[in-house]
Amino acid sequence: MSLIFYTCIIAFLLYVLLSTLRTFLLNRNPASRKPLPPGPKPWPIVGNLPHLGTMPHQTMAALARTYGPLMHLRLGSVDVVVAASGAVAEQFLKVHDANFLNRPPNSGAVHIAYNYQDLVFAPYGPRWRLLRKVSAVHLFSAKALDDFRHVRQEEVAVLTRDLASAGNAPVHLNQLLSVCTTNALSRVMFGKRVFGGGGDSKADEFKQMVVEAMVLAGVFNIGDFIPALEWFDLQGVVGKMKKLHVRFDSFLTAILEEHKTTGSRGGGKHVDLLSTLISLKDNDLAGEGEKLSDTEIKALLLNMFIAGTDTSSSTVEWALAELIRHPKILAQAQQELDEVVGRDRLVSESDLSQLTFFQAIIKETFRLHPSTPLSLPRMAAESCEINGYFIPKGSTVLVNVWAIARDPDIWAEPLEFRPQRFLPGGEKANVDVKGNDFEVIPFGAGRRVCAGLSLGLRMVQLVTATLVHSFDWELADGQKPEELNMEEGYGLTLQRAKPLKVHPRPRLSEHVYQA
């Protein structure tokens, strides 16, 4: 015991010595080198970690108002640069994108995402390009999305019937949304629904697992920034990650093994993603000896489940909450839907392009409530210069998507929910959310933009349009719209601090809600 104790003390002292030496060398700032970006003075050893608080995206936005849109933080031994304006984000994600293609080391990638064998955290290179190509062709291409359009519409119809059957009982919307998005995705990925209705205990458990993964992934784990303390797991984060990984791996392994035995359940001409992956498993997909392993298949499925379910359901929940708080905007959206769709059927994906005002509502929701408030981190492969400041090799880059979309220099009344800003004649009529316009980048941008952008957009639009069109909405417990709590709960994704509890009141012809 004493030997372990003294070894830890020696390791920690060596870390402090090396960290101090590195800081000294970095800050010598020869005349030939530009200064680091401005930022708050770091504390000894821990740096600026204590400054982050419980809502880092909000804290960093506040700090940026003092230190500017390109800010330097010292988190333990790691240099972190934060982009808090669209112009600065464009420098990192477009102009210098090739220098920031990899992720920095982090415990989530090791202990949850199969040790960097997934698409989200894999190093940029042949393996990453292989996983990206497979998912792009077989899940996210225009053809793949159109082939499985009927699946999304069928699952949204199930959601609608479940809500219509609630009667006078209030519903927790987030759980039903989670079931809908998860089943829609699972039918595409492996040809079957994984959950029953909103009362399915397995669905409740899975929702909790996904939320826990997002919360853990959003924690600034001390061990990631102070390697000498990694072994101690002071916050208990790594232990929780390991336990959560076991649960996810058991879930995914069962699906994979069953699918190997039973084969595709997609039916007809549409083959599910997992069957495709299994059929490609022993093939040289890239012509360079690149083949998929079972672990990589599970890691890819894990990405799809975590990134493709909770992000969509939480965005829909935020959209509906905003519309309940703004009844005039809700009424205007319903009027447009009635004119385009009528009251004798549900919304279909083919209707969405005709809903100009509704599309503006979706953009405004993504602006105020981006599903990922802080972008997934990137790392500088080489030292470079951005806006006259020195960015050291190995720096972690964070893009504060939340702050960018609330920048008062770019957005009029940035804290107000104003879909009109995206309409023809509005201040941002031509801005999209697909990573081309850096004023609002909920899916990121550049080569590592969210792979599921197109699917996420379709799902959020279809579900939200259907809920707005099919129901009038009342808050539970007699709560008034202006009293609705809009506080955020932090994780890797932006959850509502208090889930939305509502009474849905059917407004379409009765036969629409029948199976």
- Bind-site residues: 450
How far CA 400 is from CA of 56, 115, 236, 456, in Å, comes to 9, 26, 26, 20
Measured CA to CA, the distance from residue 134 to residue 276 in angstroms comes to 9
What b/e readout covers 305-316, taking b as 16+ CB neighbours within 10 angstroms? Answer: bbbbbbbbbbbb
- Residues forming the annotated binding site for heme? 450
Residue 402 CB burial class (10 angstroms; 0-12, 13-18, ≥19): buried
Phi, psi of 247 (to 5 degrees): -65, -45
DSSP tag of 376: P
CA angle 230, 248, 119 (to 5 degrees): 75
Please name which of 172, 174, 173, 170 lies closest in space to residue 477, comparing C-alpha atoms.
170
Please name which of 251, 282, 317, 308 lies closest in space to residue 463, comparing C-alpha atoms.
317
Measured CA to CA, the distance from residue 226 to residue 15 in angstroms comes to 8
Tell me the torsion sign for CA atoms 468, 470, 473, 476: negative
Tallying the residues shown for the chain, one arrives at 515
Measured CA to CA, the distance from residue 437 to residue 427 in angstroms comes to 14
Q: What six digits make up the tokens of 391?
A: 């960015």
How far CA 129 is from CA of 115, 132, 290, 397, 451, in Å, comes to 17, 5, 10, 22, 11
Coil/strand/helix, residue 355:
coil
Measured CA to CA, the distance from residue 205 to residue 189 in angstroms comes to 20
Measured CA to CA, the distance from residue 185 to residue 139 in angstroms comes to 10
Answer left, alpha or beta for residue 156, where phi above 0 means left and psi between -120 and 50 means alpha.
alpha
On the CB side of 82, CA atoms within 13 Å amount to 31
